Amino acid sequence: MKPLLLGLLALLVPGSAWACLPGFETASKVTRDGATVAWKSEPAKIITGAPFALELAVCPAATRLSVDAHMPAHRHGMNYQPSIRALGEGRFRAEGLVLHMPGAWEFVFEVVNAAGKLTRLTANYQAP
């Protein structure tokens, strides 16, 4: 019932990010300067030290997206460089991410829109 209600609200609220992020209504998301990035991990539960992928949707649709993660308290990032594939219509898939130790991480998304504007968005994540 909740996803249906969110979907109906997206139709009723002009400019709602959900209108251009169908299928990501319950996903994690971050918004900054008019850009929204929503993501779901595969597997759904990220396991420390194991590779995972992110399915991403960007609203408004982006022409480019980069994804990274770092640990602010430790001042280092991942030991791996993810590969990112554009799927069209603001959708992307990032593969090969690994959070190699438990603790406080920060996902970093850099979005470039059709006008060439770069927006950097960050989201906190606690790795078990």
Domain boundaries along the sequence of the chain: 24-127
pLDDT of residue 18: 54
pLDDT of residue 20: 80
Token reading at 68: 């990274």
d(CA 24, CA 37) in angstroms, rounded, equals 10
- 5, 53, 54: which is closest to 25 by C-alpha? 5
**What is this structure's pTM?**
0.83
Confidence of residue 21 (pLDDT cuts 50, 70, 90): confident
CATH class of 24-127: mainly beta
What does the alpha-carbon distance between residue 2 and residue 124 come to, in Å, rounded to a whole number? 25
